Amino acid sequence: MRRKVAGAAVVGFAVLLLPGCGVVPGMPGGGPPASTAVPTPTLPDGARPVVSLTGDVPAPADGRPAAIVPAAETDLFPGAEGDVADDPAIWRDLEHPERSLVLGGNKASDGGVGVFDLGGHLKHYALSGRIGNLDLRPDVTLGGRSLIVVAANDRDDAVLRLWSLDPAGPTLTPLATAHAGTMPDSYGSCLGRSSDGKHLYAMVTQENGGRLEQYELAARSGKVVATKVRTLDVGSQAEGCAVDDATGAMYVSEEQKALWRYDVDPASGSRRTAVDTVGGGHLAADVEGVAAVRDADGNGVVVVSSQGDSTYAVYDVDHGNRYRGSFRITRDGAVDGVTRTDGVAAVPGSFGPDFPNGLLVVHDGENHDEGSTDEAASDFKLVRLDRVATLSPR
C-alpha cells in the first residue's frame, strides 16, 4: 500500500430503520433543507475544487477534464489477480472521523468484502462469494439494537448478503435473512430509504436483460426479510445505482445508454428522467458507478463514472440535473492514477486531518506501481472530496 496525503468539512449519514423495529431518535424529516448557493473557495494549498454549484461550467484545460490526485490507495485483496475489486462503500465515524472505514467488494468467484482504514490498510476480510455492489446504512434498528447494515448482491448464489459492521473490530458479522433471493443474473445493488424515513429498500440490477428489482427490507422473528415491491425495465445491462435518501431520488446507470433518475417510491412506477446520455452528453460507455451526495444545507450532487474515457461527471441534482463538470484522477507520486472505474462512493463531512472535507472512493481497474506497465490487480483510490466540489459543513 502506498499512501500520499494532501490538505477540507461537511455532513454525516442519514438515519434509517427497518419497518416495525422501533424508532431511531433524531431521524431526519421528509426532505432536504432549502438549497443554499455555495461559493467556490480556495483550498489551503491554493487549489480550487473542479466543480462549482453556481456559475458557468469551467472549460476543460487543454480540451481535457480537470485533473485531481488521489491521497491514498487500498491494499490489494488477498491473492488478487486481475480486475477483481469493484464497488466501495464508506462508513463515517462521527465522534472520531479519522477512524472511519472504507469497504470494498471482491467480485472473484471466491471473493468477499474487505474493510480498510483511511490509510488503505486491509483490517478485515469476510469471504462470502462473488460480490456485486456494496452499500451501507448506519443506525438501523434491528432486534432492539442499532446496527451499521452492509448489503451486497451475490452474483453466483442470487441472494442479498447482509452484514452488521462493528467498527471497533473492525469486523463484519452476517445477518440472518429469510426470502432474500434475487434474479439469477444479478449484477449490482444499492440501498435506499423513502424520503419519509419509514421504508428501507434494496435495489438489485441485472447483468442480462436490463431488469431492476426493488425489495423492502423488514425484520421478522429475528431475521431480515426482503419483499419484492417493484420490477423496472431499465432497457439493457445496468449495474450501478444510488439513492438520495433526502429526496427519494434513485439513480441507475444503464451502461450503454444513460444515467437515469427514478423515484425510490414503488408507487411512482416506471417514470424516469435521463440525467445524461452516452454519445449526446458527457458520458462514454460504459456508464458505471454512481454516488449521490448531499450536505447539511441541502446542496446535492451526483458523481458518475464514465468508464469509456476514465473520467467522472458531476451533476447538480436540485436544479434539473444540470451538468457541472468532469474530472479525472491522475498519478501523484507512488499512488497511480485511475482507469476504467466501476464503483464510486462519496460522503461529505470531516474524515480527520487527511480528508477534512469529505471522502471520495473509486475503483481503479488496474493498480500500477510507478513505472510499471504490466497488467495489475485492481484496488480502490481515496480522494479528497473537496478537490471535486465544496459542500457546506454541518
In this predicted structure, the answer to whether residue 266 has a pLDDT above a threshold of 90 is yes
Q: Is the peptide bond before 174 cis (omega within 30 degrees of 0)?
A: no
Distance CA 127, CA 357 (A): 32
Q: 44-53, 121-130, 310-319: which has the minimum mean pLDDT?
A: 44-53
Average pLDDT rounded to a whole number, residues 366-379: 71
Residue 291: CB partners within 8 Å, gap ≥ 6? 242, 302, 303, 304, 344, 345, 346, 360
H helices within 212-359, ranges in order? none
Torsions phi, psi of 97, nearest 5? Answer: -55, -35
Average pLDDT rounded to a whole number, residues 139-145: 81
State the number of CA atoms in the 13 A half-sphere of 350 facing the CB: 10
Residue 25: per-residue pLDDT: 27
β-sheet bridge partners, residue 47 = none
Enter the C-alpha cell of residue 205. 440490477
CA 254 to each of CA 89, 210, 259, 299: distance values in angstroms, whole numbers, following the listed order = 20, 8, 6, 25
pLDDT confidence bin for 17, thresholds 50/70/90: very low
More confident residue, 380 or 369: 380
Distance CA 84, CA 47 (A): 34
Average pLDDT rounded to a whole number, residues 152-164: 95
Average pLDDT rounded to a whole number, residues 137-164: 91
Enter the C-alpha cell of residue 289. 458507478
In this predicted structure, the answer to whether residue 194 has a pLDDT above a threshold of 80 is yes
pLDDT confidence bin for 10, thresholds 50/70/90: very low
Distance CA 304, CA 60 (A): 17
pLDDT in tens, 83-117: 999 999 999 999 999 999 999 999 999 999 999 99
Distance CA 178, CA 155 (A): 18
Distance CA 252, CA 234 (A): 8
Burial of 164 (0-12, 13-18, 19+ CB in 10 A): middle
Task: Return the exposure string of 111-124: e unless at least 16 CB atoms fall within 10 Å of the residue's CB, then b.
Answer: bbbbbbbbbbebbb
Average pLDDT rounded to a whole number, residues 361-387: 83
Q: 26-35, 213-222, 260-269, 316-325: which has the minimum mean pLDDT?
A: 26-35
pTM of the complete model beyond 0.85: yes
The β-bridge relationship of strands 177-178 and 223-233 is parallel
Average pLDDT rounded to a whole number, residues 239-258: 96
- The domain segmentation of the chain, as residue ranges, is 66-367+375-387
Torsion angle of C-alpha atoms 260, 264, 266, 270, degrees rounded to 10:
-10
Distance separating the N- and C-terminal Cα atoms of the chain: 32
In this predicted structure, the answer to whether residue 381 has a pLDDT above a threshold of 70 is yes
pLDDT in tens, 22-78: 322 223 334 554 544 555 667 777 778 888 877 788 777 777 898 999 999 999 999
Looking at CATH, the fold of the domain delimited by 66-367+375-387 is given as Neuraminidase (2.120.10)
Q: Residues 273, 257: contact at Cβ < 8 Å?
A: no
Residue 303: per-residue pLDDT: 97
More confident residue, 302 or 12: 302
Quickly tell me which residue has 465522534 as its cell: 95
Enter the C-alpha cell of residue 118. 483511511
In this predicted structure, the answer to whether residue 249 has a pLDDT above a threshold of 50 is yes
Q: Which helix (H) or strand (E) holds 130?
A: none
pLDDT in tens, 225-242: 999 999 999 999 999 999
How is 309-350 classified by DSSP, letter by letter? GTEEEEEETTTTTEEEEEEEE--BTTB----S---EEEE-S-
